[in-house]
Structure 1
Amino acid sequence: MTDLRTPPIHDGGLFPARVREYAYERPLQRLAILDAGCGWADEIDLGPAGESVERAITGIDDDLPALRAHTRTRRDLDSWQLGDLRTVPMPPRVFDAVRASHLIERISHAELVLDRFVAALKPGGLMVVRFRDRDTVFGFLDRRLPHWLRPLLWHSEQPPPVAYDRVASLEGMRWYCMMRGLVIAEEYTSRDTMTGFGRLMGAAFRTLSLLSRNRLTSAYSEVTMVIRKPENRFARII
């Protein structure tokens, strides 16, 4: 079930907005936040500590030189740990909110890692996932192009690593949530990764979509979901 009562927020403000709403319902509570994918993501801005949301932010990510370098520059993290996301310590039911921004598409064993995030969430907690969809034209090119061509697609000398497990898609994430008994509270798509391309590349994307008989879409490149873990401790959940 998807709740679209509030308009989509595409400027990076969705996660802070939902965390503030969550905090409003739990006054005087210090929130524990997990930033999964901290080595690639922007800082989390919830306003000055003590004035808006009392929180402690923990970052986790793979242990790669570029990710470590970026993590060290972040000023919002109270603690962080890099390593294998299948084994990095994550105590159960300790986090109020999890942000996984552009992580799911770049790691292998993504379902196992997602299971660990869900297990680390408190009942009633929220998780915001944002990922590039493997079943879009952009996602198809990103996972199929030779590594030496990917910088052209990304306009960057160091594009992120890619894995694109099946769960890194709109339908794949819907299936995952259904099987785990999670609630998709909000669901949005956007073309953010494709905005830097000119008309020629836009036409190429649309042509590739037609050649695939619309199995690959050029209508969007990214998916954002707000996912809730049920409050009921007897619910079928990890």
Structure 2
Amino acid sequence: MFGRRIREQWAGLSGRRLDVLVAGCGRPDPLDLEGVEARVTGIDEDLPVLRESTSARKDLDSWTLGDLRTVPVPPRAFDVVYVPFLLERLDHPELVLDRLLTGLRPGGLMLVRMRDRASAYGTCDRLLPAPLRRLLWRRFAPKDAVGPLPARYRPVTSRQGMHSFCLTRGLMVTDDASCRSGPALKGRLAGLVAFACSAVEKLSRGALPASHDEIIMVIRNPHSHFARVI
């Protein structure tokens, strides 16, 4: 989905270079930019595990780590802002999203991947005490997974929360999908994790589904103020 939308965005620029911001570059999750002329800038929190992972990436032209509430984001400098698995680990995700939006050009795209707090997997992840998460991480996560990272899961990290955020900012959600991609569902004890998620779904009477844990959204920043109002 993201690759197709990026190519459509680039085609609309009449061959101009695509400026891309990756907010959450500490996880090695590169975009599909094959055949697209692009300059990619990365930002993320300054945590040891994220610094090590970011410094090993080869797809970033530049990157900065720090407090995402204050890290420099030039206004209207990017055609695409990619936010992979960042929002669920922030204390103030709306504030960071607003700062990222200042860097998005009119007509630009925000591509979001986030863990759903309203899923069975997200519920287990956010309710586990931090010391226990650190203890269990290497047993449940794949060897190449970056972490463990904070698990804040504020209300915006849900389908309803993100749609409400976009509505109040005049943004248009053009694509909305979900899938299963949690690290613990790919590790050695994936079967046990799947069983636990199914149990949470049954105990919640379906309110916390085990069918997905990730939400994928393509969000467009309208060209004009009038489009926002409409």
Normalised TM-score (structure 1): 0.85
1:47-126 to 2 correspondences below 5 Å: 47=34, 52-126=35-109
- In the other structure, the counterpart of 2:31 is 44
SS class of match (2:19): strand
Q: Tell me, yes or no, if the aligned pair for 2:185 and 2:193 is still in contact at 8 Å.
A: no
C-alpha distance in structure 2 between counterparts of 1:218 and 1:228, whole Å: 29
State the AA in 1 paired with 2:154: D
Relative distance call for 1:218 and 1:73 in structure 2 (3 A) is same
Q: Which residue of 1 aligns with 2:13?
A: 26
CA distance in structure 1 between the aligned counterparts of 2:193 and 2:17, rounded to whole angstroms: 47
CA positional deviation for 1:67: 0.8
Moved more, 55-64 or 152-161: 152-161
Give 3-state SS (helix, strand or coil) of 2:21's partner.
strand
Q: Distance in 2 between matches of 1:231 and 1:155?
A: 42
Which residue identity lines up with residue 70 of structure 1 in the other structure?
Answer: S
Q: Distance in 2 between matches of 1:220 and 1:38?
A: 23
1:11 maps to none
Aligned residue among 204, 212, 221 for 2:204: 212
Report sequence identity in percent. Answer: 47
Q: For residue 74 of structure 2, give the secondary structure of its aligned residue in structure 1.
A: coil
Is 1:127 matched with 2:119?
A: no
Equivalent position to 1:171, from 142, 160, 166: 160
- Report the Cα offset of residue 107 of structure 1: 1.2
1:142-191 deviation line (CA, Å, top 9, x unaligned): 01112343215545694222111110111111111111111000000101
Find the aligned partners of 1:138 and 1:17 in 2 and give their Cα distance: 28
Structure 2: gaps spanning 5 or more residues:
none
Spell out, residue by residue over 1:1-47, the C-alpha distance to the aligned partner (whole angstroms, 9 max, x if none). Answer: xxxxxxxxxxxxx3232111111121221111000000113233412
Does the residue aligned with 1:139 lie in a helix, a strand or coil? Answer: helix
The whole-number CA distance in structure 2 between the counterparts of 1:225 and 1:236 is 18
Which has the larger helix fraction? Answer: 2
CA distance in 2, matches of 1:63, 1:203: 35
The Cα shift of 1:213 comes to 3.0
Q: Is 211-220 or 107-116 further displaced after alignment?
A: 211-220
Structure 1 stretch 211-220 or stretch 114-123: which is displaced more? 211-220
Output the CA distance in 2 between the equivalents of 1:233 and 1:91. Answer: 20
Matching residue of 1:3: none
Count of paired positions? 219
- The one-letter code matched in structure 1 to 2:212 is Y
- In the TM superposition, what is the alpha-carbon distance from 1:195 to its structure 2 partner? 4.0
What CA distance in whole angstroms lies between the structure 1 residues aligned with 2:20 and 2:195? Answer: 41
Q: Report the equivalent of 1:188.
A: 177
Deviation for aligned residue 1:236? 4.3
Evaluate the alpha carbon distance shift between residue 70 and residue 218 of structure 1 in structure 2; reply closer, same or farther with a 3 A threshold: same
Question: Does structure 1 retain, via aligned residues, the 8 Å contact 2:19–2:79?
Answer: yes
